Amino acid sequence: MDANRILKLKVVAMTVVILEEFKGESIQLSAYRNRGDEWAMDHRRVIIGRRNLFRAKTKRSSSR
């Protein structure tokens, strides 16, 4: 391919991306990607060996 054709293809690709962005349609996060309720977060923390949420929230200072 010559340089002129590659440049035209790049411009067309950028234009399509911009037009799709203005259109307002995008991929939405599914409900399953949320962190979940506190019960689920607490159990995940305990499973990996961290403090439960109650102790983490009542701790006076953050770990640094």
Confidence at residue 27, expressed as pLDDT on a 0 to 100 scale? 64
Q: What confidence score (pLDDT) does residue 26 get?
A: 61
pLDDT, tens digit, for every residue of 41-62?
A: 888 888 888 888 777 777 676 6
Q: Does pLDDT of 10 surpass 80?
A: yes
pLDDT mean over 12-41:
75
Q: How confident is the model at residue 30 (pLDDT cuts 50, 70, 90)?
A: low
In whole numbers, what is the pLDDT of the chain averaged over residues? 78
3-state secondary structure string across the chain? CCHHHHHHHHHHHHHHHHHHHHHCCCCCCCHHHCCCCHHHHHHHHHHCCCCCHHHHHHCCCCCC
According to the model, what pLDDT value does residue 55 have?
79
